[in-house]
Copies of this chain bind each other. A is one copy, B any other.
């Protein structure tokens, strides 16, 4: 094998797209951190870390999750997305990025962690054309002016196409979207953001988010017929709410 002196050994970065689901708003969430240092200081970015000597990339990706949300979670699923290697993807340095995705079964509070000024869940929404946006709502309570006793939402919007995200992270997210959409009909691991089991409506909500259409646009009965082979009935929801209780399903995991 050719073994040239490797003059500039690149940084090996693990980038993890951490997905979750907000059960109050029924919206998909992506974890972003505000970078503390250069390059791209103050930019929102996907969580990243350097790989350590004794760990595999998968372990490093999980370490990122633990760092941001603590060790309380036991139930998560991580899979590899792709590796990004273009030599101009980081300014002034050579950095490979091994990108992963983690699907969290809940939406825990966040810690900024090392190298980050801030960390937040951003609401993910896609358009029918395959574009997406990430929005972070910060609630502000005003004091005694015209908006007194009201609240308003301050929106930070990160749209693909503008370079609001650090590095090539908008591109990485686009690849992630495409991968998830492609797998929706044979291995919809994204549904793990719903936890161990889920109702068909919850599943349709996630699907609709990626197609950029309202949940209503996916018929429940037909969705069941076409996706039943992917799901396994595990009971009925015990949530006390108006209307007939929904059945619960889990993923009938397909081996890769």
Contact = CB atoms under 8 A, between A and B. Distances in A.
A83 interface: yes
Contact of A53 (B8, B35, B53, B57): B8
B53 A2 contact: no
A contact patch SS: loop
A250 to B, nearest CB: 22
B256 A53 contact: no
A80 B81 CA distance: 11
A52 interface: yes
B50 A1 contact: yes
Contacts of A115: 1-3
A interface residue count range (under 10 / 10 to 19 / 20 to 34 / 35 or more): 35 or more
A169 to B, nearest CB: 13
Nearest to A85: B57
Contact of A80 (B1, B37, B58, B82): B82
A96 interface: yes
Contacts of A178: 256
Contacts of A80: 82-83
Nearest to A186: B182
